[in-house]
Each structure stands twice: as C-alpha cells, then as structure tokens.
C-alpha cells in the first residue's frame, strides 16, 4: 500500500480538488482509499458520501477502540472508497497530541487496511500541525499544489522544511494549480518554476469553470469533462505520482 498526502501549509490552493481527482484517476487501476482529514468534509461532499456515525468519532479510531473499516464508505466509482471526516476531526490535533508516538497515528491506523488498498490518498487540512506531521510521516509522496503568487515559493519552502524535519522519506511532487495564463505572474511561474525547482513538476492545472463545476456536479472532473485541459492535467499528475511511488496492484475488488 502506498500513501500519497496532498498537502500545503497554505489554504485554498486546490488540495481537496487535487486529492479527489488523483483518487479517481488512481482508481482506474488500483484499489483506492481517500481519507479526508479536514473537518470541513469537502471530500465527502464532492464524492457524495456522508460520514458514518462511529461511536467516539475519530478519537476512538486513534485510540484503537473502533476499526477503520467501520468508518469507510464506498463511492459510486469502482475501486474508490472514502473515509469521510466528521465534526470530531476538529479536535484531531488534540487527539494526536494526547496519543503515544503522536506523529505515527495515521500510519498505525492505515496498517489496519494495508491489504485492502493499493493506494491511500490523504486530503490534509492546511497548516503545520500534528495532522500534517502524521500525514507526512505516513506518506510515500507529498503532492503540493502551488498557486502562482509571491507567497507560493514561500509555501514550497515551508513544506520542504516541514518534510526535512520529519523522518519520512516521502518524495515531494509539486505542481502549479489554478493557473490563469492571462496574468503575467502566472505565465512567468509556468516558465520558471518547473525549470528551476527540482520538486516542481511540469503539470499545470488551469483555473477554469470546469474545475469549479465539481462543486455542483459533485463528481471528479474526469467523469464529466474528460477532455478538459484540467482533467488531462490531473491525469498527468497521477501518472507522475504513480511513477514516483510505484503502487502494486492487488486483486481488484469489483
């Protein structure tokens, strides 16, 4: 099982959008679990799944009092399951803080489903708290969306520094997100960043209404607009991540 964390210190850069689309792309060939670690629950919303009522919420999961398999939902897509967040995820940092080996809890929980999935995608909340430490610790790759702005390099540096502090051996795969080529700054970022920064891939996801439509379609972009440039970009991004983490194919579930 390979773990891919979609993460940035910055909010609103396209993490959840990337996580949902990567999971959908990955599910074409692998058994995929998408874990929403953000109490806003956007991932579940976009894939039309509601959290299951699990006694004790996420703290029972972390304490080992409830099984992760009980909280997992299937989606309408083959090979794609979701572990949705509920309101109890608001306290996740505190819950981890009180646990032993507090940065290794996500890895420990995922060990329960090691044989059930080939790929796990983690949709992380922004920030640099324990949830992120856990995600990076468990990850084989960390996917970082970068929106061209004077602050984007800063967030790239922050994520690099954050990963360097972790014992994790995860590889970073950054990509340009929400790119508007009418803006000079954005065009410059597309030209310069992938050429000068080793961790920044050539994948460019444009800012388009087709991506925005995910909120009303409540579906991955590839399912309703497969020819859109953004859908192709997420396909390319998954191809790159797949090459980076090399998941093994288990038996397909369906």
Sheet architecture: strand order including 73-74: 73-74, 80-83, 32-36, 119-123, 2-6, 141-146, 171-179, 200-206
We find the least distance from the C-beta atom of residue 38 to Mg ion, in angstroms, to be 5
Which is it for strands 80-83 and 32-36: parallel, antiparallel or unpaired?
parallel
Is the CB of 12 or the CB of 64 nearer to Mg ion?
12
Q: How far apart are CA 156 and CA 9, in angstroms?
A: 9
Q: For Mg ion, give the closer residue by CB, 61 or 124.
A: 124
Nearer to Mg ion, 99 or 155 (CB): 155
Using rule CB under 6 A, residue 15 touches ligand ATP:
yes
Among residues 5, 42, 109, 120, which is the contact residue for ligand ATP, using CB under 6 A? 42
Segment interacting with ligand ATP, rule: CB under 6 A, options 75-83, 154-162, 192-200, 207-215 = 207-215
Nearest-approach distance from CB 63 to ligand ATP, in angstroms: 26
Q: Is 90 helix (H, G, I), strand (E, B) or coil?
A: helix
Euclidean distance between the first and the last CA atom of the chain, given in angstroms as a whole number: 18
Identify which of 121, 122, 116, 138 has the alpha carbon closest to the alpha carbon of residue 250. 116
Q: Is 218 helix (H, G, I), strand (E, B) or coil?
A: coil
Q: Which is nearer to Mg ion, 14 or 148 (CB)?
A: 14
Residue 226 binds to ligand ATP (criterion: CB under 6 A): no
Number of residues that bind ligand ATP (CB under 6 A): 20
> Are residues 77 and 21 in contact, defined by beta-carbon separation less than 8 angstroms?
no
List the one residue from 1, 5, 14, 16 that touches Mg ion (CB under 5 A). Answer: 16
Interface with Mg ion: number of residues (CB under 5 A):
2
Distance separating alpha carbons of residues 7 and 143, to the nearest angstrom = 6
Interface region with ligand ATP, contact rule CB under 6 A, candidates 57-65, 152-160, 167-175, 209-217: 209-217
Find the binding residues for Mg ion in span 218-247 (CB under 5 A): none
**Site membership for ligand ATP, residue 152 (CB under 6 A):** no
Our separate counts of H helices and E strands in the chain read 12, 8
CA angle 32, 40, 139 (to 5 degrees): 40
Positions that interact with ligand ATP (CB under 6 A): 11-17, 38, 42, 125-126, 178, 205, 207-208, 211-212, 214-215, 230
């Amino acid at each position: 099982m390979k773990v891919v964390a979609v993460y940035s210190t910055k909010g609103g850069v396209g993490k959840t959008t990337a996580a949902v689309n990567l999971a959908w792309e990955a599910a074409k060939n692998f058994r995929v679990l998408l874990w929403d670690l953000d109490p806003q629950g956007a991932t579940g919303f976009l894939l039309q799944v509601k959290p299951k009522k699990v006694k004790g919420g996420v703290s029972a999961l972390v304490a080992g009092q409830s099984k992760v398999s009980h909280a997992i939902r299937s989606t309408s897509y083959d090979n794609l399951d979701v572990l949705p967040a509920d309101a109890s995820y608001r306290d996740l940092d505190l819950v981890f803080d009180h646990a032993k080996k507090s940065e290794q809890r996500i890895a420990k929980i995922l060990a329960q489903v090691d044989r059930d999935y080939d790929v796990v995608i983690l949709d992380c909340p922004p920030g640099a708290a324990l949830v992120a430490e856990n995600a990076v610790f468990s990850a084989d790759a960390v996917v970082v969306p970068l929106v061209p702005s004077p602050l984007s390099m800063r967030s790239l540096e922050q994520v690099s520094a954050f990963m360097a502090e972790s014992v994790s051996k995860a590889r970073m795969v950054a990509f340009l997100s929400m790119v508007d080529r009418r803006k000079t700054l954005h065009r410059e970022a597309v030209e310069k960043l992938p050429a000068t920064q080793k961790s920044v891939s050539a994948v460019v996801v444009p800012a388009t209404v087709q991506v925005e439509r995910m909120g009303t379609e409540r579906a991955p972009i590839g399912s309703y607009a497969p020819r859109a440039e953004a859908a192709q970009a997420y396909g390319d991004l998954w191809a790159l991540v797949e090459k980076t983490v090399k998941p093994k194919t288990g038996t397909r579930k369906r």
